[in-house]
Amino acid sequence: MNKETEGTFREARREIAGITAGLERRVLAAIARRMPPWVSSDHLTLVGALGAVGCGVAYGWWWRAPWVLHLANLGLLANWFGDSLDGTLARYRRRCRPRYGFYVDHIIDAFGILAIVGGLVAGGLMSLPVGAALILAYDLMAINVYLATHTLGVFRISYGPLGGTELRILLAGLNLACLFLPTFAVADFTVRLFDLAGAIVAIGLLVLTAVSSARTGRQLYGMETLPHAASASS
């Protein structure tokens, strides 16, 4: 990339509006101020990635030892710690690499979601069709977010009251509930707890993506409305 391109690059404005956003910002800033100098944002990114993989591995071993769901929650905590703090630490130390950070952070997120859902399916906690639908819904949402970031210059991390942190909290709660009620009966059918939750989340993501994409399309149309034919010909 040449110097002219580097000089014109502008980082997208970040919008975070989840329930825990305010508290999370203060906690992360406090941790960043106390982080040892030898810990870099890349180290934290690695911690977040390993947390997601560890969570998926724990799900895969659930059928042998249900208590490993506690390890899955530890993996979620590590994933939150690394994934949420790496950018905060870089900004606090004024060592931001916005293009590198944006790309690496979100490609790792994509593989992390694949590891977690893959673990749920491999461990028998979630059926393959629900897992596939969840991955598809997540990918569509991610594509919409990244396209909107590029075209509008605004990176929206959360929708309404829910963001990444809130979803991790919900998933941790499901892990604990699954220790006592992994399946339940509905009429003559046995339903997996994670199948029900996964289907609800997938449908919710699809609805949010549809609404968001329609809103973004209208906004972009208003920003780039073509002039009237008469004005163009004069």
Q: What is the pLDDT of residue 40?
A: 92
- Angstrom CA distances, 159 to 15, 152, 155, 162, 209, stand at 10, 16, 11, 6, 10
Q: Would you place residue 56 in the very low, low, confident or very high pLDDT band (cuts 50, 70, 90)?
A: very high
Q: Would you place residue 160 in the very low, low, confident or very high pLDDT band (cuts 50, 70, 90)?
A: low
Q: Is residue 4 part of a domain?
A: no
Residue 189: pLDDT over 90: no
Q: Is residue 190 part of a domain?
A: yes
Q: Is residue 64 part of a domain?
A: yes
Total domains in the fold of the chain? 1
- Angstrom CA distances, 94 to 84, 89, 173, 230, stand at 16, 8, 36, 51
More confident residue, 129 or 151: 129
Question: Per the structure block, which two tokens stand in for 120?
Answer: 């749920």
Structural element, H or E, at residue 14: strand 13-15
pLDDT, tens only, 17-26: 667 777 888 8
Q: What is the pLDDT of residue 176?
A: 94
Q: Is residue 149 part of a domain?
A: yes
Q: Is residue 231 part of a domain?
A: no
Q: How far apart (Å, rounded) are the C-alpha atoms in residues 113 and 21? A: 21
Q: Which of 182, 204, 205 is nearest to 59 (CA)?
A: 182
Write the CATH number for 219. Answer: 1.20.120.1760
Range(s) of the domain holding residue 90? 13-223
Structural element, H or E, at residue 186: strand 183-186
- Angstrom CA distances, 158 to 75, 121, 167, 209, 220, stand at 21, 26, 10, 12, 20
Question: What is the percent of the chain with per-residue pLDDT over 90, rounded to a whole number?
Answer: 46
pLDDT, tens only, 206-221: 998 999 899 888 888 8
Structural element, H or E, at residue 192: strand 189-192
Q: Would you place residue 234 in the very low, low, confident or very high pLDDT band (cuts 50, 70, 90)?
A: very low
pLDDT, tens only, 123-136: 999 999 999 999 99
Mean pLDDT, range 226-234, rounded to an integer: 53
